[in-house]
Amino acid sequence: MNEPVEPTVPTLYGSSRQRRVTVRDLQLAKERGERWPMITAYDAVTARIFDQADIPVILVGDSAAMVVYGYDSTIPITVDDLLPLTRAVARGTQHALIVADLPFGSYQSGVAQALDTASRFLKQAGAHAVKVEGGQRILPQVEALVAAGIPVIGHLGLTPQSVNVLGGYRVQGRGEAGEQLMQDAKALAQVGASAIVLECVPAALAAKVTASLPIPTIGIGAGGDTDAQVLVWQDLCGLTEGPAPKFVPRYADMRAVITDAVTNWSADVRDGTYPGPEHAYN
């Protein structure tokens, strides 16, 4: 009789073809030294594109406040604004791990509030994990969420929900603040966070935190030594207007592509070229 074959632990991308990526896959990837990308999505169509492009983790970020709802910060967005977007992203994907950002004011007041909000994102929208901003001040919430079976991703450095305290969107963790950030990161890992986003911190600090933590770090404006990288997809693809922070690469100029498409179509409608006979039903 053949010996039973031990199931092999699939790699992050290998596993994504058969089943959803899980936070355990992210942990194993860190242990193998395998880097991975996380991208934002807010609707089913783009989420499906990213899923089919083998992006293993999709974040329904509260950046939706700006890129979907047109606010100038993440402060005003609510749970009711984000739930339908998360539901659409979950519906549009088959393989990626879906992370839902908990919006400002939906978890800070205590453990019960955090549990209520996070449960809604898992039960009503199909998210698999939640992301929360802050370090030691929200440890009880993180610990309780993990104890309840909800994977948590932390977020340190430039935490946009605290922009009014930070005094603007600026690099964080310089000088002595770096030690505080390191303590926050270690504390989050200790209470069971699955990963930590490091936003706008010096590259050397992000490298040190990454080397000190047993869990993956996900950088945005944090240099090249984090375990993963995250970007807002409209920034990556050149849809957002105006000057961008220096860490934002432009892999495409979708603003120009869309502008050309609608301008050409508009001209064709005006001069009667569209619709032609090939667009009409006999």
Q: State in angstroms the smallest separation of the CB of 38 from ligand KIV.
A: 8
> Is 199 marked active-site?
yes
Phi-psi sector, 95: left (phi>0), alpha (psi -120 to 50), beta: alpha
Q: Does 235 bind ligand KIV (CB under 6 A)?
A: no
Q: Cβ of residue 131: shortest distance to ligand KIV, in angstroms?
A: 7
Kindly state the number of chain residues that form the binding site for ligand KIV, as judged by CB under 6 A: 11
Report the residue number whose CB is nearest to ligand KIV: 61
CB closer to ligand KIV out of 15 and 134: 134
* CB nearer ligand KIV, residue 40 or residue 172: 40
Cβ proximity to ligand KIV, 55 vs 230, nearer residue:
230
Give the C-alpha separation, 44 to 20, whole Å: 16
Q: Alpha helices, DSSP H only, in 148-226?
A: 163-166, 177-190, 203-212
User: What does the buried/exposed string (b/e) look like for 181-211 if buried means 16 or more CB atoms within 10 Å of the residue's CB?
Assistant: bbebbbbbbebebbbbbbbbbbbebbbbbbe
Task: Identify residues 195-234 at the interface with ligand KIV (CB under 6 A).
Answer: 197, 199, 220, 230, 232
61 binds ligand KIV (CB under 6 A): yes
The H or E element spanning position 14 is helix 12-18
How far is C-alpha 22 from the chain's CA centre?
Answer: 14
As given in the structure block, the two tokens for residue 217 are 């770090």
Cβ count near 146 (within 10 Å): 15
Three-class secondary structure of residue 219 per DSSP: strand
Q: How far is the CB of 256 from ligand KIV (least distance, A)?
A: 23
127 binds ligand KIV (CB under 6 A): no
Binding ligand KIV (rule: CB under 6 A), the pick from 15, 40, 46, 240 is 40
39 token code pair: 């991208």
Candidates 34, 179, 199, 241; catalytic one: 199
Q: Catalytic residues, which ones?
A: 199
Where do contacts with ligand KIV occur on this chain (CB under 6 A)?
Answer: 40, 59, 61-63, 101, 197, 199, 220, 230, 232
